[in-house]
Each structure stands twice: as C-alpha cells, then as structure tokens.
Structure 1
Amino acid sequence: MTHHPDAALVRKGYEAFSQGDMETIRSLMTSDCTHHSPGSSQMSGHFKGADNVLAHYGQLMELTGGTFRVELEGAYPDGRGHVMAVHKWHGDRGDRGIEMRGGLFFTLVGGKISDIDECVEDIDESDAFWGQG
C-alpha cells in the first residue's frame, strides 16, 4: 500500500523520533512549528519554534530516563494538509510506569509540519505521571 505524501511525512517523523534523530524531525518542521500538549503538568503547554519543540521532546526522554517510546498505529491524511496520527505511548518515571493511547493532529504547510495538536486518552492520568516538576 502506498501512503499519501502527508501521511508518509508523518510516518517519517515517528520513525525519526523512535531513533532519536532530532535533525530529521527538525527538517520536517517549519521553523515556527508549534506543539500543543494537553493538561496541566510540567509537560503541558504550547511549545513554539522548532528549537522549543525539540527541547520538549528531549524533556520527555530526560524525565523518563530514556524509556519514553511511541508506537504508531496509523496516520490518516485528509488530503488538505492535515494528518491524524494514532499511537500508544509508554514511559517510566521513578517507580511509576504508564502506557496510554493518544494521537497527534498535524497541520502541514508547504510539505512541512507547522502545527501539532496532541490528545491523550486520560488527561488526569497523564498529568499525574508527568507531575508538576
């Protein structure tokens, strides 16, 4: 099965994330890309600009001692510059582990990711896992 170019770009981003390849991720984003994370934990908020988005991803790894991982289940384009990606994410912090389904809604402009809206299965559980810092 061939993938729509927008879905292929998102899949490439997930693959790069799984390999820790931040330079490839950077190359897929606009310089002013924004990642919106839900909830009220230390990992929640709006991270604007490629440097801030990548720093946010680095913090996911730092807070979980490198155990954070994401398994892509599907990437679904609308053919108008949006892709909905569904995944399961995992991580360990101290004596606590988490496994949760979630998704990212991508907006693409000019073949690059300009906006990422994150959704999680259980915001309260996600907030409890990440804590306030």
Structure 2
Amino acid sequence: MAEHPDCALVRRGYTAFASGDMEALGALMTKDVVHHVPGNNPLSGHHKGLDAVLQLYRRLGEETSGTMQVLLEAVMADGRGHAMSVHTARADRGDHGLEIRHGLFFTIVGGKITDIDECTEDIDEEDRFWG
C-alpha cells in the first residue's frame, strides 16, 4: 500500500527537523504557516509566518543545547488536507529532562503545510520544563 502524499509530506518534515535542515523544512510550509503551541510557558502561543515557525524550531534546539530528539510513532491522513502525527519528544534543559508524547494536527493546502496544532500529554510538565 502506497503512503498517502500528506503522510509523506509530514514524514519529510520530521526528517528535516531531526537533521536541523531548516531550509528543507521551510520548503514544506507556506509563507503564512502558523504553529500553535499549548500551555503557559515562553514557547506557548501562535507562531505566525514561516520565519516565526522556523525560529521556534531553532529555539527548541538552542534551549535544549541540541539534545531535543523527536521519535515519530505514526502519521495518519484523512484524504481531505489533514494529517496527524504522534511522536515522543526527549530533551534536556539545564538539570531538567523531558520525555513526553505529542500529537500534531496539520492542515495541508496545495502540498504544503499551512497550519500545525500541537497537543501534549501533559501541559503542566511542558510548562515546568520550558518555564
């Protein structure tokens, strides 16, 4: 069975993120992409526009001194321009460690990501780690 193109797009994004290839990652998104981060911490909020989203991803690496790892578990598509991913994120920040599952909900238009809604299994833990 061939993978749905929206799932393949999301997988390419995870591969680019894992290698720190912001140019390749940016090429998968529209200029007006928005990434919504839950919680109440310095990374929370609506990161609007390609530059802001890529800066968010760079900051994840900077804040964790390059220890951020994202292990993709699954990608699913609805065939109508939406895809979902589930992954486990691992990182260290100072003397704090984090290992937590996330879900991302993608909106895809014209073969590019236009919106990313992020969910976490433990918002309080996220806030403690990033706060």
Which residue does 1:19 correspond to in 2? 19
State TM-score, norm by structure 1.
0.97
* Aligned-partner residue type, residue 81 of structure 2: G
1:44-72 CA-to-partner distances (Å, cap 9, x unmatched) read 01000000000000110111001011000
Matching residue of 1:115? 115
TM-score normalised by structure 2 residue count: 0.98
**Which amino acid is the alignment partner of residue 29 of structure 1?**
M
Q: Distance in 2 between matches of 1:20 and 1:119?
A: 22
User: 1:67-106 to 2 correspondence within 5 Å?
Assistant: 67-106=67-106
Partner of 1:124: 124
Determine the C-alpha separation between the residues in 1 that align with 2:86 and 2:68: 16
Q: What are structure 1's unaligned runs of at least 5 residues?
A: none
Task: Spell out, residue by residue over 1:27-47, the C-alpha distance to the aligned partner (whole angstroms, 9 max, x if none).
Answer: 000000000000010010100
1:59 maps onto 2:59 in alignment: yes
Amino acid across the alignment from 1:78: D
CA distance in 2, matches of 1:103, 1:97: 19
Counterpart of 2:18, as a letter, is S
Q: Residues of 2 paired with 1:74 and 1:3: CA distance?
A: 12
Provide the rounded CA distance (Å) in 1 between the counterparts of 2:61 and 2:88. Answer: 16
The count of corresponding residues between Structure 1 and Structure 2 is 131
Q: Kindly state the Cα deviation for residue 2 of structure 1 after the two structures are TM-superposed.
A: 2.2
Q: Quote the Cα distance in structure 2 between the aligned partners of 1:4 and 1:75.
A: 10
SS across alignment from 2:2: coil
Cα distance in 1 for partners of 2:103, 2:24 equals 20
Computed over aligned residues only, the root mean square deviation of the Cα atoms, in angstroms, reads 0.6
